[in-house]
Structure 1
């Protein structure tokens, strides 16, 4: 007979302890109760626990002290904080300190059962370190540190802001956090915030009811409903218009959404991860991104290093890409010459790993004798001194035409680098998808 899992309840209010004991007992879980920090530490020293639920305010201290104690001495025990309703700051401090998740008073029993189930699945989830190593390539110090951070953050339900340049692998990092955590058997729903037309955003995120607007022929669930129980990854979150940022903040704080045309709030259990290649702090300072939403999303920041900061990984990544290309074409793999490898290691890679992949795919297609030379890579030529100084007035007949020619050249280059993926090209140029569509139409490149 398997041993029942054990929960430590820490609260100085007898009625709260009793409510939690009864609810968890019905889930066939064993419980132990403590009235203060000292009693909780004594229980932790005597017995192993699978989860700790602690109130924030305790007679001899606070729950944050207990979170920090568990983080130092009982790292395998997830701890959830119970806070007063509306104490978002307190909850965020708890998550930053290492809490798994939080509940607000009065405790919603349905939410409690979901949280407990999610926390206990941490112990049942097999380690997926091999899958990280196989997909997040590179053995440089920055990548070793990134793998460790992914493993640690997967054990929390805290919102994470994944920062990094375009093409650096932010979505892959988000997927690995999801797959390492207790939500692995639930959906991972990625969404490019810059690719959704403004007028459709609310419907896309929260769903709509039949007849709520022209064309709404049937009920449709939104992205939050699709990600219920799992992870919602908001890529390019900085591209959200301010009006939508308000609604997103409310959905995250209330853990519920209302479909367009609907009357009832629908509870959603979603872990939110977000990313952007922009600096969100700069966007907040420029009043293009709400500070309260930034504070809520950026509980923990995880930076993905650009490829130029880990040049020692380029050879491994390149060989892996060439092997995949060969397997896909059912052909022998191509080999990089030493000159080609040297050229790659000396290149800045503004498009990061995605640019390297596209570059190698083109070179693999064009190379001869299964050998890729430096010329096959078609790396950008260094800018000459005269070009750095810029054009003189003698070179320009019409300013508008000149600027349009530069815009056309750069947009075409971005489209070629991204295999004519308009969304990726827009990200490469730091444009919103809507702005990209406008420019393509203006330049006759649709």
Structure 2
């Protein structure tokens, strides 16, 4: 039987230990045994059990079962403990349970009762772990936060704080994976609608034949049951339109009225349905172009875009990358149960130098992959080898021609050629931003400017400007 760990049996009577151990092993459990509290502590220090069975009264032991129970719970509070005794009283049983025991079994006991209590203790422990994980996820989703220290992200957080208390509709723009839904959730969480639902309408999945029913519900169309649409589900809360340009055009006109008047009719219905819904929309596309192309109704655009909010791409806020990386390590570890890892400075520097076309979502996926592939020993920081090749700035197909060319030069010339090639690549990598490049290469900004001038390194045909604007 697969359990969360071995079962530790602690009893000063060898016959009892043998009986309990044999009974449990016959049912597929694995066991370890101790005759005293001292032996039990040694076993526990080496390996936490999935369950402990402790005798209350033990001869030649520096602790009785109740004291050992307190010690176990102080070290491994999540481990369920069953107490057994041939001299127990109601008071003893009550005290044991108050001290954290799952249950109390009086000797002599029947094998069936012992097995039943063991199975129940494991099940209760499993449910408690699942509840803890669910609470952590709910807390994570119910208390969203926008991570970063950059000027752009500080401006986004300030805008969210100002927008949230109002009832205004918000239109969030930004590239795919930049955190538009997170910003919407933050607005919802910081508003007076936080205790009501945040409903997501994935517009790309709302086909023309189903969009009206999904959004507005139905009163017995081709069925005898009523369907509650997303507008009604979001009553008193927030309805988030993800990629609003993907909405069918015929549905967009109905949304204009529903958003403006806060009422609509279900498909097949005759009565007006009134709702109180805040609408937040988002798109990664050029909305002006979408209007010109006839993919987005202009009146819907103006209804939804009362307050615009823009999410910057990750490449424009590289100083946030170390903060996001550490946050994602914690987040993935909580979600998956994987052990946390440390990210070395070279890993964080490589991440800061990458352009992240998939933005924050791509970075989260990269961190999750690193946690999955990390070695079992996680005491040392991870190295570059766990990063995808494109983030390491490694081309698998590259040969040794550049190295061969450098080897053919005198040391001084080779060093200058390498420095120029390296500085040119880094300046291009950071799109001409000397401040960000200086942080990555480990140089003072003024010293880096002098080095770029001495090597005649330019970006886009221009020499990067100093802080005073001089080249």
Give the TM-score normalised by structure 2.
0.51
Q: Deviations over 1:24-67 (max 9, x none)?
A: xxxxxxxxxxxxxxxxxxxxxxxxxxxxxxxxxxxxxxxxxxxx
- Distance in 2 between the 1:186 and 1:132 partners? 11
Structure 1 residue 253: deviation in Å? 2.0
Instruction: Report Cα offsets for 1:274-321 as digits up to 9, x if no partner.
Output: 001112111012221111111111111100111111111111111111
Give, in whole Å, the separation in 2 of the partners of 1:153 and 1:132.
Answer: 18
Query: Aligned with 1:198: secondary structure?
Result: coil
Indicate the residue corresponding to 2:150 in structure 1: 140
Tell me which residue corresponds to 1:221: 228
Report the 3-state secondary structure (helix = DSSP H, G, I; strand = E; otherwise coil) of the residue aligned with 1:372. Answer: coil
1:375 deviates by 2.5
2:215 & 2:359 partners in 1: Cα distance? 30
Structure 1 residue aligned with 2:188: 178
Checking the alignment, whether the CA contact within 8 Å between 2:206 and 2:247 is kept in structure 1 is no
Does the alignment pair 1:269 with 2:276?
yes
The question of 1:241 aligning with 2:238 is answered: no
Q: How does 1:156-235 map to 2 (within 5 A)?
A: 156-210=166-220, 212-213=221-222, 216-235=223-242
1:354 matches 2:361: yes
CA distance in 1, matches of 2:336, 2:308: 39
Q: Contact 1:178/1:231 (CA < 8 Å) preserved in 2?
A: yes
Show the counterpart of 1:301. 308
CA distance 1:250–1:331, change in 2 (3 Å): closer
Mean alpha-carbon deviation: is it higher for 185-194 or for 256-265?
A: 185-194
Q: Show CA shifts across 1:393-434 (max 9, x none).
A: xxxxxxxxxxxxxxxxxxxxxxxxxxxxxxxxxxxxxxxxxx
Give the match's secondary structure for 1:302. strand
Partner of 2:322: 315
Contact 2:144 2:185 in 1 (8 A): no
CA-CA distance at 1:206 after TM superposition: 0.4
**Residue 374 of structure 1 pairs with residue 384 of structure 2:** yes
1:364, 1:372 within 8 Å by CA — same for their partners in 2?
no
Going from structure 1 to structure 2, the CA distance change for 1:264 and 1:332 (only over 3 Å counts) comes to closer
**Where does the alignment leave 5 or more consecutive residues of structure 2 unmatched?**
1-139, 399-471
The answer on 1:364 being equivalent to 2:380 is no
Which has the higher Rg, Structure 1 or Structure 2? Answer: 2
Q: Deviations over 1:82-109 (max 9, x none)?
A: xxxxxxxxxxxxxxxxxxxxxxxxxxxx
In 2, Cα distance between the equivalents of 1:307 and 1:203? 37
Which residues of 2 match residues 413-432 of structure 1 at below 5 A? none
How far, CA to CA, are the matches of 1:134 and 1:208 in structure 2?
Answer: 33
Preserved CA contact (<8 Å) 1:132 1:147: no
Report the Cα distance in structure 1 between the residues aligned to 2:323 and 2:208, rounded to whole angstroms: 41
Structure 2: how far apart are the matches of 1:172 and 1:330?
A: 23
After TM superposition, the structure 1 stretch with the greater mean CA deviation from structure 2, 130-139 or 306-315, is 130-139
Could you tell me how far apart the structure 2 residues matched to 1:271 and 1:224 are? 10
Alpha-carbon separation, structure 1, partners of 2:303 and 2:194? 23
RMSD: 2.5
Cα contact 2:173–2:309 (8 A) shared by 1: yes
| TM-score, structure 1 as length reference | 0.54
Q: 1:77 matched to which residue of 2?
A: none
Report the alpha carbon displacement of residue 325 of structure 1 after superposing the two structures with TM.
Answer: 2.9
Tell me, what secondary structure is at the counterpart of 2:218? coil
Give the whole-Å Cα distance in 1 for the aligned partners of 2:312 and 2:280: 18
Cα displacement string for residues 325-373 of structure 1 (whole angstroms, at most 9, x for unaligned residues): 3344555421122221111001111111110010111112112343422
Secondary structure at 1:380's aligned position in 2?
A: helix
Structure 1 residue ranges without an equivalent (≥5): 1-129, 388-446
**Distance change in 2, residues 1:189/1:328 (3 Å):** closer
> Counterpart of 1:257?
264
What is the correspondence of 1:272-291 to structure 2 with a 5 Å cutoff? 272-291=279-298
